[in-house]
Amino acid sequence: MLFKKEKPIDRSLAIVVLLGVVLCLYAIFQFQFSANLPLSFLALRGEGTFQFYNEDIVRPTALLGNTIIFASFTITLFSILVAKLLTTGNKIYLLYLAIIVTANIFTFTRATLVGLLLSSGTILILHYGRFTINFVIRIILVSFVLFITLLSLAYVYKDSFIVRRVTGQEASTIASTTEHYNQIDNSLEFLKENYLFGAGTGTQGPSSDATRMIITDGYWLQLFLENGVFLGLIHFSLYLLCFYYALHTFYFAENRLLRQLCLAFLGSSMYFFAGSLLNSALIGKVNYILYWILFGLLLAQSIISKRRMNALPSH
């Protein structure tokens, strides 16, 4: 085991947060000064900037890939920091969260704007929830108030670009949504005929062979299209088992760092599980690596905590 003590795990998580916040600051810089920056500051080599039809908005990527990859990266950071804020009460995390949310909003990515609510809601419920009748009623009331508030803001600012983007009324959004639905229909039709073996590993996604590609986005469908239904279910079950392990560990954990890691992993997982129906951000290099690093730290800290408990003298 690489980590045998808690300090290196805590330090590793701190490094992830620090680097993530720096990247978010750079993304904000990209958004604010895009008109004056050379292409090399805005996009990776060989790629162009990410924009909307008939708009001057340049969507930041922090040079991590495309906008959905970077925006999803901010969700993992957001989950880590919400977990740290709730378990430590350190107000500096509010500043970090403000930077991350700002960078996320500047990407104008619909899935991650919803993801902020989904991840934070999951973490808050797990941290505070006792699952009594009173708690359920409170959750319903808070959700209702939040829904009405968002609906009211959307009505007041209905002509703003971000509202048109989120509600699917902007030209680029309409085209993107239509393409998603068409690809989903094509994928389901193909799986009906080829449910045993699928289309083969590496045939799907934006970097695959165009002659065999059926879908460019939607990781879960890519998984089943490439592997077939049965192998796809085995692969999908791995994610569910990791989620269950983190959830089970959280409910029995007393160690603060372990609870932070569980909350962060569960919060980001809720976004990636839902988002992977429509996008492939989870397997974007930085997100895939960070997702499993987070689970690896969780696993290591869980083992350390168990060893500590077993080392305690019994009475």
Q: What's residue 311's pLDDT?
A: 67
- Whether residue 279 lies inside any domain: the answer is yes
What confidence tier does 309 reach under pLDDT thresholds 50, 70, 90? confident
Which sign, positive or negative, has the C-alpha torsion 195, 196, 202, 203?
A: negative
Calculate the CA 213 to chain-centre distance. Answer: 25
DSSP code at position 208: S
Per-residue pLDDT reduced to its tens digit, 114-172: 999 999 999 999 998 777 778 778 888 988 898 899 889 888 888 788 888 877 777 77
Q: What is the dihedral of CA 157, 159, 163, 164, to 10 degrees?
A: 170
Indicate whether 151 belongs to any domain: no
The one-letter code for the residue type at 119 is S
The DSSP symbol for 58 reads E
Whole-angstrom Cα distance, residue 228 to residue 297? 31
Please report, for residues 48, 108, 112, 217, the alpha-carbon distance to residue 174 in angstroms, rounded to integers and kept in the order given: 21, 14, 17, 16
Tell whether the model's pLDDT for residue 103 goes beyond 90.
Answer: yes
Q: What is the pLDDT of residue 3?
A: 61
| Total tally of structural domains belonging to the chain | 1
Which position has the higher pLDDT, 311 or 11?
A: 11
Best CA proximity match to 55, nearest among 196, 225, 173, 201: 173
Does residue 158 form part of some domain? no
Q: Given this model, what pLDDT does residue 64 score?
A: 93
Residue 245: per-residue pLDDT? 97
Other beta carbons less than 10 A from residue 146's beta carbon: 12
State the chain's mean pLDDT as an integer. 87
Q: What is the pLDDT of residue 65?
A: 86
Map residue 50 onto helix, strand or coil: strand
Task: Name the pLDDT band for 264 (thresholds 50, 70, 90).
Answer: very high
| 97 contacts 59 by C-beta, under 8 angstroms | no
Q: How many CB atoms lie within 10 A of CB 214?
A: 21
Report if residue 121 sits inside a domain. Answer: yes
Q: What is the pTM of this model?
A: 0.90
What are the phi and psi torsion angles at 167 (to 5°)? -85, 0
The whole-angstrom separation of Cα 266 and Cα 133 is 23
pLDDT of residue 79: 97
Q: Which among 16, 72, 140 has a CA at the least distance from the CA of 288?
A: 72
Evaluate whether residue 163 is within a structural domain: no
Domain extent, residue 228, equals: 6-128+170-311
CA distances from 104 to 90, 100, 219, 223 (A): 22, 6, 21, 27
* Helix, coil or strand: residue 59: strand
**pLDDT for residue 52:** 84
Q: What is d(CA 304, CA 310) in angstroms, rounded to the nearest whole number?
A: 10
Q: Is residue 14 part of a domain?
A: yes
145 belongs to a structural domain: no
Quote the strand ranges of the chain, DSSP E.
50-51, 58-59
Phi-psi region of 58 (alpha: psi -120 to 50; beta: other; left: phi over 0): beta
Question: Mean per-residue pLDDT for 252-267?
Answer: 95
Residue 254 has pLDDT above 70, yes or no: yes
- CA–CA separation, 233 and 30 (whole Å): 40
Minimum mean pLDDT range among 83-92, 141-150, 231-240: 141-150
Mean pLDDT computed over 76-93: 95
Closest CA to 263 of 281, 249, 275: 249
**Amino acid, single-letter form, for residue 114:** V
Averaged pLDDT, 30-41: 93
In-domain check, residue 152: no
The tokens for 259 are 């609870």
- pLDDT tens-digit profile of 182-232? 888 888 888 888 778 777 777 766 656 666 677 777 888 888 888 888 988
**Token digits of residue 76:** 């993992």
